[in-house]
Structure 1
C-alpha cells in the first residue's frame, strides 16, 4: 500500500480514551500501554501482571505528578489461545498489542466500540487526528492490521500474531479490498509503535461522549 492511498482513503483517524485520562493525554500525548505503565512507575510485579497476562479488568492508574489514566481490559481476547498463528506465543502477541497506540480508520468502527456494552455507559473522549500530519512525523512507526486485533470473542476468529501488523508499504491493501468488497474495510486498525507524544500537533478536534451520546467539543492547545 502506498502512504498516499492510506491518507486518501482515511484522511481522519479516531482514538477513543477515558474522559478521566484526557488531562494526562494533553500533557504526554498518546502512549502505548507499556509506555504508560513505565511513565506511571508501576512496580515490577504489577507491571508483569498487566503486560504478560490477558487483563480481565481495566486498571486505573494514579500518579502525583502525571495524574490519572486507565489501562483498558482485554476481556475480548477470550479465545486468543485458539486463534494464534503458527509459531506465535501468547506473550509475543500480548507484547505486540501492548507496545502500540491504536486508531480507528473509520467512524463506523469507532461507533461500534462506543456502542459496545463495556463502553456505552461511560465517559469518553474521541480524538480526531489528521492522518497526513501524523504520518509525516511518525510514518516509520505506523503499522496496519486487517482485524480488530484485540477482539477474539468467538472461537473461530481469524488467526493472528505479531506478524499481523504490517508496515504501510508491506500491507496487502488490494488483497483485503478484494476480499471485503466495496462495503468492507481493507484496513481495520492503524497503529503507531510506542507513543505519539506530539499528539497536539496532529489533532483536529476532541469530542466528549457521555452515556453513548456525543456531549460537545473540548478545547485543546494546538
Structure 2
C-alpha cells in the first residue's frame, strides 16, 4: 500500500485585517458562528447563510464576511452531488478554512484586493490534535466553481481520521469518481464550527497591505 502523505507542519488562514480584534477575542469562527455573534436571525441571516453572497459584507458588529462570487448557483447546480446550492452554501459557511499552499493563499489574496489582510501561520499538528474530530481535508478548492467546476458534495470534506486511514476512497465512492491517489495533496484543511482558542496555535501573524502578497519569509 502506498504511504499516506502527511500534512505540512504549517498551514495558513487569511482573514480580513478588520477582523483581527474579533479573532483575538473570539478565535477563528465560521461564517455561521459570526452571524450568531452579530445577532442576525430570520430572513437576513438566511440570505447571508444559504444564498450566494454577491458582495463583501460588514455585519452590525463590524465583523466582515467575504463575498462568494466564485460560487454562482448556476455553476454549482452543474457539479453538486446530493446537495442543492443553498445546502452547499450552508455547508461552506459552517467551516473555517486553512490553506496548505501559500500560492493558493495568494490567489485568494488577489481576489480580496484592495482590502488589507492578515495571515495566521498555524501549527498543524497542534491544531489537528485538539480538533481531530472536527477536521476534514479536501482535494479541491471548494470555494471556486468557475471554469469546468470539479464534482463536489458533502463527501468532498473527508474527515481527517478517514483520510489517514483510507485516503480519498470515501470521496470517490460517494461521488462516483475515480479514486484519487493517496499521494494527492489536500488543498484545504477545514474545521467545522470554528477554533475559539485559535491563538494558542498561531506561530506568526503577518499583515498584508494593498498590493502585498504573502511569502514564507513572512511566516
Pairing partner for 1:53 from 47, 51, 54 = 51
Alignment of 1:31-42 (within 5 A): 31-42=29-40
Q: 1:81 and 1:141 mapped to 2: Cα distance?
A: 27
Alignment of 1:1-222 (within 5 A): 8-63=6-61, 68-78=62-72, 79-85=75-81, 87-116=82-111, 119-154=112-147, 156-171=148-163, 172=167, 176-177=180-181, 186-213=185-212
Deviations 1:19-41 (A, max 9, x none): 10100110000001111101110
1:9, distance to aligned residue in structure 2 (A): 3.5
Contact 1:11-1:130 at 8 Å conserved across structures: yes
Contact 2:158-2:168 at 8 Å conserved across structures: no
Deviations 1:81-108 (A, max 9, x none): 21112x3222221221111100001212
Contact 2:133-2:161 at 8 Å conserved across structures: no
1:44, distance to aligned residue in structure 2 (A): 1.5
Which structure: greater strand fraction? 1
Runs of 4+ in 1 over 4 A off after TM superposition: none
Q: 1:208 and 1:101 mapped to 2: Cα distance?
A: 19
Q: Structure 1, unaligned stretches of length 5 or more?
A: 216-222
How many aligned residue pairs are there? Answer: 199
Contact 2:95-2:194 at 8 Å conserved across structures: yes
CA 1:81–1:173: 2 relative to 1, 3 Å:
closer
Contact 1:142-1:168 at 8 Å conserved across structures: yes
Q: 2:86 and 2:161 mapped to 1: Cα distance?
A: 27
Normalized against structure 1, the TM-score is what? Answer: 0.82
Task: Give the alignment's Cα RMSD to 1 decimal.
Answer: 2.2
Normalized against structure 2, the TM-score is what? Answer: 0.83
1:170, distance to aligned residue in structure 2 (A): 2.1
Q: Structure 2, unaligned stretches of length 5 or more?
A: 170-178, 215-219
1:212, distance to aligned residue in structure 2 (A): 2.4
